[in-house]
Amino acid sequence: MARNEHKRQQKLAKKQRRTNDLKKQRNIKLNVSSREIILAAARAPWVGCYVSGGDGMHSVYAIRQTRNGTVASIFLVDSLCLGVKDSFFIRNFDLDAFRDRNRDRESEKVTPEHALKLIQDAIAYARGIGFEPSAETDIYKQIFGTTDAAECTTEFVFGRDGKPLYMPGPHDSMEKQLRILRTLHPLGEGNYHFSQRLDWSPESDERLDYDGDELDEDDYEDENSSEFMYEAESANREQSNTIDAVDVRPSN
């Protein structure tokens, strides 16, 4: 009897170890970082790359298909001044909803090389006048994998009339606007444009010696990135509630 009980305990212990191992493996999948998912997705087949927007403000979508579903890196590109203003990675990208929205807006399907070159050139332009992209941008950009931007021969135009044009967005605080203007200030008088959006005058602020070329709002159409921000933030909120294990392997 004692021998049978000992064997039973051994079997139970072995079963528990196996269960614990499975839990550890599942937890590894659940806790996998966005960077690991992106690196794995970079080997998966392309769904496609798309560029929407215009007049200097573009949303760039890089979309891949993994075993677990569709993933996307999204970049808000300001080719007038700030380069890549914001970026997101969406683990569970709703491709059907994306296609439905694109029926009502101008969106161009481009090659991965074109999309990557636009992002890289925008970053280089902005960096040249003092603006750096967020750290997340470098991570999210890795979804392009081995894509070679040099294969794209398109020459993108940045700035407006040969000068940076800063157009404050709907969520840009006065403090942020002043910080950006301080960065532009060393370019020299008349070497950058500023489209005033809020009811304040930068000349009157003692913290800033402003001498840029101010433009009236009527000079250019308003650029509004709120739709992009809402969609991306909503997708991120849904993603954060996902508890299913993530299979980071490419679909092929």
Residue 52 CA: distances (Å) to CA of 15, 68, 138? 54, 26, 21
Cα 140 from Cα 236, distance rounded (Å): 14
pLDDT per residue as tens digits for the range 136-155:
899 999 999 999 999 999 99
Average pLDDT, the chain: 75
Residue 97 CA: distances (Å) to CA of 122, 189, 224? 28, 46, 21
Nearest to 251 by CA among 70, 98, 95, 96: 70
* pTM across the whole model: 0.70
pLDDT per residue as tens digits for the range 185-231:
999 988 999 876 544 444 444 333 334 444 433 333 333 333 444 44
pLDDT per residue as tens digits for the range 53-99:
878 899 999 999 998 899 999 999 999 999 999 998 998 899 888 88
Q: Mean pLDDT throughout 33-48?
A: 89
Asked if residue 51 lies in contact with residue 115, where contact means CB atoms within 8 angstroms, the answer is yes
Residue 6 has pLDDT above 60, yes or no: yes
Distant-in-sequence, close-in-space partners of 69: CB < 8 Å, separation ≥ 6: 91, 92, 93
The pLDDT value given to residue 46: 97
Asked if residue 223 lies in contact with residue 79, where contact means CB atoms within 8 angstroms, the answer is no
